[in-house]
Structures are given as structure tokens and as C-alpha cells.
Amino acid sequence: MLHGNISNEYGYCIAFRCEDFLINYKDKTLKDKVLNFFKGKYRRIEINKTILAAMEYIYKNTEYNVGLVVEEKSYKDIRFKKLVDNLPFNEIILINKLSQISQRLLVGYISLYVDDNAERRSLINNKYAISFKELNHHIKIGVKR
């Protein structure tokens, strides 16, 4: 749905990376690893508040769809699904490898892919795979393709 009109035209989709971008697991130190073993890693996650606020703004105040890019192996866990259900998004985009994001960018299913990991963005090799800092510029001028 584009601009609130009910039609067959699909609105532009801004896809955000979920793991290692929006959601970070605490597992860097030995203490974190021990606590993850006893409490579970899904109870000890950190959600990036600035990215969450940007997703909520795009979801509520713009005509763009918000996609959440999730690895398929992570999404099979029920605890992960419960965690993701509370986030502001229109659709979940399941992937097995990064080339699937590249394919969806080329076809036009995803208009922008947002991720701060430069290595992953370079593997996607598309000018519409952008960092979080560049997102504001693209929202202001509009996602025209």
C-alpha cells in the first residue's frame, strides 16, 4: 500500500538488519558467556535504541514499509520470535546468505538495506546497501529508484 491508497502497487521497503545491528548479544567476556549458559542468551540482549526509534519513525510517519532482515536459523527459535514480535516492522525477510539480500535489492523487493557492518555491505555490493548514518539523507529526499 503506497500513500494509504489500496492498490496493487507495493510501497518502498527499507530493510534493517536484525542480528548484530538492531539486536546485540552480550557474549564478549567470559562472564557474559557463563551467564548466557545459565540464564539464556535471549534474556541478556541489548536492543539499539536509536535504530529502534528510527524504525518506529519510518513505520508510523512515512509511507515506507519497514522490513526486518533475519537469518533463518535464528528465526526458528521460539524465544527469538517472541522478542521480534514487539518490534515495529511490516514484514520479516528471512535469509540464508547475503546474496539473497543482493538479489532482492536488484529486483526491487527491498529499496534500501541498512546495516552498519561495512564488510557485510561490501559483500552485498549494491549502492542501496547503506549505513545507518546515510539513512536520514535517503528518507529526506525519498527513495526513488
Long-range contacts of residues 57-61, Cβ cutoff 8 Å, at least 24 apart: 58/14, 58/139, 59/88, 59/89, 59/90, 60/88
What average pLDDT does the segment 57-68 reach? 90
Residue 6 has pLDDT above 90, yes or no: no
Q: Higher model confidence: residue 32 or residue 22?
A: 22
Q: What's CA 5's distance to the chain center, in Å?
A: 25
Tell me the per-residue pLDDT of 70-104, one tens digit each, with 9 for 90 and over.
Answer: 999 888 888 888 888 888 999 999 999 999 999 99
Domain of residue 71 covers: 13-141
Cell numbers describing residue 8: 496493487
Q: Identify whether 136 is part of a domain.
A: yes
Q: Higher model confidence: residue 31 or residue 101?
A: 101
- Residue spans of alpha helices (H) in 1-145: 30-39, 49-61, 72-75, 78-84, 99-107, 118-124, 132-141
- Contact residues for 94 (Cβ-Cβ < 8 A; gap 6+): 70, 71, 72, 75
Work out how many domains the chain is built from and give that number: 1
Grid look-up 524504525 returns 55
Q: Identify whether 8 is part of a domain.
A: no
Contact in structure between 13 and 109 (CB atoms under 8 Å): yes
Q: Identify whether 115 is part of a domain.
A: yes
Q: What CATH code is carried by the domain that includes residue 88?
A: 3.40.50
